[in-house]
Structure 1
Amino acid sequence: MVVRRTVLFILACVVASAAAAQTRTAEPVPRDQIEDAIREGCERIMGTQRGDGALVLDTRRFGPGTYYVYPVGVVALGTLALQHALPHLKGETATRARESRRKALAWITQHQLEPKTYTSGLVICVLHKEHLGEYGKLVGRYAAMLVLSQHTKGPDAGAWGYDLHLPPGYRLGQNQGRPPARLGRMDHSNTQFAVLGLLFAQHSGFQIPKRTWRLLRKHYVDTQNADGGWGYRSDSRPGSYANMTLASTISLSICEEMLFASDHGECKAPPESGPVNNGLQWISKNLDYDALETYGFYALERLGILSGLSEFGGKSWFDEGVSRLVRDRRWRSHGADSPNQQIGAAFAVLFLSRGLEPIIINKLKRHGTSDWNNAPYDVKHLVEYISSRFQHPKQWRIVTLDAEVDFLVRVPILYMSGYEALEFTAVEKGKLKGYVERGGTIFGMACSGRKAFDKSFRALVAELWPDGELRLLPQTHPIYKPPRPLAVKQKLLGLALKQGQGRLGVIYSPYDMCCRWHKGGTRAKAVFDVGTN
């Protein structure tokens, strides 16, 4: 049986029109107001810090006794928010935030393992953003608890509940309590944090068994409701609702990437994933931003960023979220009760901070063909590589030429690839020319060096810039130098613009790198470095 590969970024399910790249119902909020809200959220988080470094975002999570008690998880949530907020903080606030993060990180790493699913996912996320060499053992232990504690039988198979099994041989101290002998029922809230932890453990170099991902995928497919959404679980809030559908859609997408990206044997657009598409369709039709709590906005942010989508149902998810979170700072999380308020602040800071991360490359979706997406994870993996190598988070998006040039030029690189001959209308060609002449750079790539794409791309450049010429870039060209000195100097061509004082308006690779970007791994390092430069 051939496993259907997912295209996380399939735009067939982005159901508005392709022109929705610019459709908004919420007016964009000025950046300084967003940064002010981030600062306020960080002040709330830092205001909960004890002398020992713990961020007590919710006092109930630090008490004795129930499964809702996970102090390490709460501290990790606050720490993660501060980590992502730091690039957007200034002056004395940034200084205090760095110190608060340092103390909280020390508290987490000096604490015994906390065998909770929420905790494991959040701690791994926090440690992944730090220097792994120092914390690798701790990441491995939390990842091991997740792998060991996945339900493998019955109606909960593939998912996680609140509690985890400890790693073999590990014993908690006398004051730490004891994990239950049997794991409780699963739910899709805990499961999304398990998926986050497994994802970043894998990004940190730990090999998560394929069986874990296969069980997880089967679980999501089997528990998806007929309308395309997900509920909490079959015996508790089983109907589809936003929090669980957002979380489950991105978790299923991550799962399918982990299963299938490295198995992509040929540079060819894979079949679409029906369950992922159905989840995205549910979101496009049913998402009510006014009813969404900060916990849901955190899932929305992850879905938008990891999928490369700017909007759902014709609405910019970031603009819609910002308009609520900046103008109404109650920041509800699981009910607006006061003890939970700073949990909400942490989720709000994560949404706002990540939404401000710079988008460095757009992937062009061409109408009427799937040829634009032969390697679905190519640009995603390249941007993840750049972010990891330089410790500065970057993002990417999918766009169409229905967007106006004013929208396109916000991002410096427009990437297109394929096997087939390119076909653009006169209006689309005008937008490509305008994009380059207003400062953007087109980066073209012939999948597997196919002649049809190669010939049509060269013809397009000649048509748009008849006085220019695509020329082989010499080995002394700056593109082959730092930031990443290249072990392999890929053959690249460039079009230097006369009016741009020699700036490259077009870069072209007649040979394939996209399939290796898509597969990722250590073998792709050399071509990742080419893309980085």
Structure 2
Amino acid sequence: MRRNLKGRRFLAGLLWTTLAGLAMSGSAAPANAADVTAKQVADAIDRGVVYLKGAQNRTDGSWPEWVGQPGGTTALCALALLNCGVPPEDEAIQKALRYLRTKEKPGMVYSVALQTMVFCAAEPNKDRLAIARNVQWLEATQISNGHAKGAWAYSSDFGRGDNSNSQFALLALHEAEKVGVKVKQQTWRLTLDYWLRNQHDDGSWSYTPDEAEDRATGSMTCAGISSLIIASGKVSGGDAVVADDRIQCCSPHGDDAPVERALQWMGRHFSVASVPAARGGAGTGYLLYYLYGMERVGRLSGRRFLGEHDWYRAGAELLIAHQDKLSGYWKGASHSETNPHIATAFALLFLGKGRRPVVIAPLIHSVEAGLFGPATRHGDWNQHRSAIQNLTQSVSRAWKRELSWHSIDMRAAKGQDLAQTPVLFLSGSEQLRFSPEQKQLLREYIDQGGFIFAEANCGGDGFDRDFRALIAELFPDSPLRLLPPDHPVWFADGPVDPAYVRPLWGVEACCRTSVVYCPESLTCRWELWKPERGAPGEDYPAVVAKDIAAGMAIGHNVLAYATNRNLKDKLDPSVDLARSDTGPLTRSTMVMPKLSHSGGSDDAPNAWPNILRLAEDQLKLNISPEHRMLAPTDPQLFDYPLLFMHGRRTFRFSPAARKQLREYLDRGGVLFVDSICGSEAFAQAFRAEMKAIFPEQELARLPADHPIFSDELHGYNLSRVTLRNPRERRVDERLAASLSDIEPRLEGIEIDGRLAVIFSPYDISCAMENSESLECKGYIKSDAAKIGVNVLLYGLLQ
């Protein structure tokens, strides 16, 4: 006489009670309404874009001009639209461009600067002569003597030099150089000297050079920070130089103290509800202008936090709360910001530019016996200060989307900070010291799908020694190994010149290579890349240009391999790596182990726990994501109604294992099986084992109308899903995959009219482990998760 598995009736009753409760309430518990979401920001941007487009003059493409700034409002609105994803070929942008091209001599710094930025962002090749004309005008208009030497006023014959006009002139010149229009070195030197000369002792700036420290404001300090970063990058020789046809890395650094003092001032005076002022007062005048400046500071400095404040999240929450709910515009409290077109443009520039997804985050790490020095732009973690910014700009161009970067200070890093970062970058030459807690955080980061990209530079052997020791400690079962020539990291985004290939070492973890280490400096090459030309400069010797290009190609490939070019929104929710996964088990806690075997039974250790977490959140059930492995011969098998199994290599069960699995399944158990990364070797081995266990049956594909694909059990409707399929590639092609809209494929074996075995030949595990791999034939992450939840529900409720 057969006995049922322990607990099946109890678990089924518990599930049905919970599902009935969900049906009565209509949904699961709502998310925290106080936390701004990516969707809220996207919706706010969409409404603002619709408002600005609707306010445009349909006849000439302009927006009503602000007094004294011909073309200024139109350029500002067009710039906002472009930075919110409106393409240059859009009718609204084309009309605005035609209007702005009629303003050949705007005559005012704000107007000329904004016009230049629009031309650079939209159609720089078409408007190259106009950009060059504006650059010459701005250079000629720069104040050349007196206490405001190096600044700009409203125009050549109106107003005194001030930090607001100076900031906008500098931004225009910066964008012009990025599209290949030269700016005189003297112009950069004059403006750098101006900003350094007029910074107050506490790090702040006021509106004009003759105003005292107690007149400093947040908006002008933002202007000073971004201007210093831009100008110093143009004047400095950089942290890598070319001499005698050779690259020399790790040159002496310039002084970062002025920028650091200013950033500290911003942290101490942080606010998004008002414009900070040094004298203790604050107001809402020019608030949106100030927020636009704050976005620029965060992006150019690579800071996600100012002090302890997440500047983008705080600003986005404020803007969403104050957007007109009916028309979609913003309106400020004073002067030009009472004009909803200008106010809306500033708000959209903050939201649109500030939400650019992060592609890489350098990690600020220790160099002195586990203690951290100041988190400055220069340190052993950042020997080549423009390298990460240059790499990000280059990848943005190649992937045709605007990306960003930020640094993470390991002293204060939390699990969520790491989890929201697709690639952590570690660089250095000296000692590398982490506390046990920090090491655990790094391991959990990798386990949850993170990626570490590291390099040793500047000739020191301390970093190399300590990094190798760190990896050996974190991954004792997966040592660093030289990556072979056929590894995708060599071609994920494009080929690398074989003459300049550098050794890359890797660690296999979580369905892929999750750590890539170069014992030679790549950042040195990234530092020398010239973003204004999109390639190594023509002023470099040919051998140096090729070396730089190869270094950039390796950077591109690693980022493409690590992210699949699929990046999260800055406000997307993430798992807190520090959270506890294993609370106390109670009678109502469901535990669902994994089946062990010799074919990679734990090669994706977090895939099944992640499915269980999703089911727990969806159904509000007490499901333990405990990592529990059981051998097929373990007598405890019969304590669990459902088992999960996956693998990626060939394997065989023993006769005793086959016998007990057959008994387990005959008694009512369910086996859910996935082929990691769509492995054919595992799939063939598993089918052979099922044939040995069930000689009278075959694994058969489940029909598209099978209940397991429906939402009748409060799961998901899976009539159509998206399959990622690696493309065959030529030697000179980058790694890519196609996406197909298909009916889901699951195979099964029935016993007495119920599904006892459910098998997915397409990958679910790697998608749930971290992110979909370009190398794997399998479902995209959202569909993999839904399939997992549906299978779990169906298996338990049969």
Fold in common (TM above 0.5) = yes
Q: Percent identity?
A: 30
Q: Which runs of 5+ in 2 are unaligned?
A: 1-32, 242-248, 276-286, 325-329, 367-371, 374-378, 531-535, 537-544, 558-798
Deviation at 1:420, TM superposition (A): 1.0
Report the CA distance shift for 1:47/1:336 in structure 2 as closer, same or farther (over 3 A).
farther
Q: Does 1:121 align with 2:113?
A: yes
- SS for the counterpart of 1:122 is helix
What amino acid is aligned across from residue 100 of structure 1 in structure 2? A
Which residue matches 2:502?
491
Q: Quick one: distance in 2 between partners of 1:113 and 1:492?
A: 54
Q: Quick one: distance in 1 between partners of 2:193 and 2:312?
A: 31
Deviation at 1:327, TM superposition (A): 0.1
**1:145-173 CA-partner distances (Å, limit 9, x unpaired):** 11111111011200001125xxxxxxxxx
**1:448-481 CA-partner distances (Å, limit 9, x unpaired):** 4543222222221112111112222222222222
What amino acid is aligned across from residue 195 of structure 1 in structure 2? L
Which residue matches 1:252?
228
Question: How many residues are treated as equivalent by the alignment?
Answer: 474
Q: Considering only CA atoms, is the larger Rg found in Structure 1 or Structure 2?
A: 2
Which residue matches 2:628?
none
Q: Quick one: distance in 2 between partners of 1:333 and 1:84?
A: 21
Deviation at 1:102, TM superposition (A): 2.4
Q: Quick one: distance in 1 between partners of 2:216 and 2:439?
A: 43
Which residue matches 2:161?
186
Which residue matches 1:12?
none
Report the CA distance shift for 1:348/1:411 in structure 2 as closer, same or farther (over 3 A).
same
Deviation at 1:347, TM superposition (A): 0.6
Report the CA distance shift for 1:491/1:526 in structure 2 as closer, same or farther (over 3 A).
closer
Q: Quick one: distance in 2 between partners of 1:407 and 1:263?
A: 28
Which residue matches 1:273?
256
Confirm or deny: 8 A CA contact 2:429 2:458 kept in the other structure. Answer: yes
Deviation at 1:235, TM superposition (A): 5.5
Which residue matches 1:4?
none
**1:178-234 CA-partner distances (Å, limit 9, x unpaired):** xxxx45421111100011011111111223222111111111122223332211114
**1:302-329 CA-partner distances (Å, limit 9, x unpaired):** 0001100011121111111112111012
Match of 1:305 among 289, 299, 308: 299
Richer in helix (by share): 1
Report the CA distance shift for 1:33/1:250 in structure 2 as closer, same or farther (over 3 A).
same
TM-score under structure 2 length normalisation: 0.56
**1:116-159 CA-partner distances (Å, limit 9, x unpaired):** 21123222322222343222222111111111111110112000
Q: Does 1:436 align with 2:446?
A: yes
Richer in strand (by share): 2
TM alignment of 1:102-501, pairs within 5 A: 102-164=94-156, 182=157, 184-234=159-209, 239-262=215-238, 264-265=240-241, 266-267=249-250, 270=253, 272-292=255-275, 293-329=287-323, 331-333=330-332, 335=334, 340-367=339-366, 368=372, 370-401=379-410, 402-448=412-458, 450-487=460-497, 490-497=501-508, 500-501=510-511
Report the CA distance shift for 1:131/1:479 in structure 2 as closer, same or farther (over 3 A).
farther
Which residue matches 1:54?
61
Which residue matches 1:81?
80
Confirm or deny: 8 A CA contact 1:295 1:334 kept in the other structure. Answer: no
What amino acid is aligned across from residue 448 of structure 2 in structure 1? R
Q: Quick one: distance in 1 between partners of 2:337 and 2:140?
A: 36
**1:242-270 CA-partner distances (Å, limit 9, x unpaired):** 11111112111211111115364441673
Q: Quick one: distance in 2 between partners of 1:470 and 1:97?
A: 48
**1:284-309 CA-partner distances (Å, limit 9, x unpaired):** 22233211411111000000011000
Deviation at 1:506, TM superposition (A): 0.4
Deviation at 1:366, TM superposition (A): 0.7
Deviation at 1:505, TM superposition (A): 0.8
Deviation at 1:69, TM superposition (A): 2.5
Confirm or deny: 8 A CA contact 1:447 1:512 kept in the other structure. Answer: yes
Q: Quick one: distance in 2 between partners of 1:120 and 1:69?
A: 9
Report the CA distance shift for 1:242/1:338 in structure 2 as closer, same or farther (over 3 A).
closer
Q: Quick one: distance in 2 between partners of 1:96 and 1:306?
A: 24
Report the CA distance shift for 1:423/1:235 in structure 2 as closer, same or farther (over 3 A).
closer
Deviates more, 1:458-467 or 1:229-238: 229-238
**1:409-441 CA-partner distances (Å, limit 9, x unpaired):** 211100011111311111111111111111111
Confirm or deny: 8 A CA contact 2:451 2:515 kept in the other structure. Answer: yes
Deviates more, 1:298-307 or 1:253-262: 253-262
Higher relative contact order (CA 8 A, sep 6+): 1
Confirm or deny: 8 A CA contact 2:239 2:385 kept in the other structure. Answer: no
Query: In angstroms, what is the RMSD of aligned CA positions?
Result: 2.4
Q: Quick one: distance in 1 between partners of 2:177 and 2:342?
A: 27
Q: Quick one: distance in 1 between partners of 2:185 and 2:36?
A: 43
Deviates more, 1:485-494 or 1:412-421: 485-494
Q: Quick one: distance in 2 between partners of 1:294 and 1:98?
A: 26
Report the CA distance shift for 1:247/1:207 in structure 2 as closer, same or farther (over 3 A).
same
Q: Which runs of 5+ in 1 are unaligned?
A: 1-25, 62-67, 87-93, 165-181
Report the CA distance shift for 1:263/1:439 in structure 2 as closer, same or farther (over 3 A).
closer
Q: Quick one: distance in 2 between partners of 1:440 and 1:394?
A: 18
Q: Quick one: distance in 1 between partners of 2:297 and 2:169?
A: 16
Report the CA distance shift for 1:333/1:226 in structure 2 as closer, same or farther (over 3 A).
farther
- SS for the counterpart of 2:359 is strand
Which residue matches 1:504?
513
Confirm or deny: 8 A CA contact 2:362 2:426 kept in the other structure. Answer: yes
Report the CA distance shift for 1:38/1:336 in structure 2 as closer, same or farther (over 3 A).
farther
Deviation at 1:387, TM superposition (A): 1.3
Report the CA distance shift for 1:237/1:124 in structure 2 as closer, same or farther (over 3 A).
farther
Q: Quick one: distance in 1 between partners of 2:88 and 2:551?
A: 39
TM-score under structure 1 length normalisation: 0.83
- SS for the counterpart of 1:155 is coil
Which residue matches 1:21?
none
Deviates more, 1:190-199 or 1:122-131: 122-131
Q: Quick one: distance in 2 between partners of 1:448 and 1:278?
A: 27
Q: Quick one: distance in 2 between partners of 1:529 and 1:479?
A: 10
Q: Quick one: distance in 1 between partners of 2:444 and 2:451?
A: 11
Q: Quick one: distance in 2 between partners of 1:243 and 1:101?
A: 29
Q: Quick one: distance in 2 between partners of 1:217 and 1:530?
A: 33
Report the CA distance shift for 1:337/1:254 in structure 2 as closer, same or farther (over 3 A).
closer
Report the CA distance shift for 1:485/1:123 in structure 2 as closer, same or farther (over 3 A).
farther
Report the CA distance shift for 1:418/1:236 in structure 2 as closer, same or farther (over 3 A).
closer
- SS for the counterpart of 1:290 is coil
Match of 1:32 among 30, 34, 39: 39
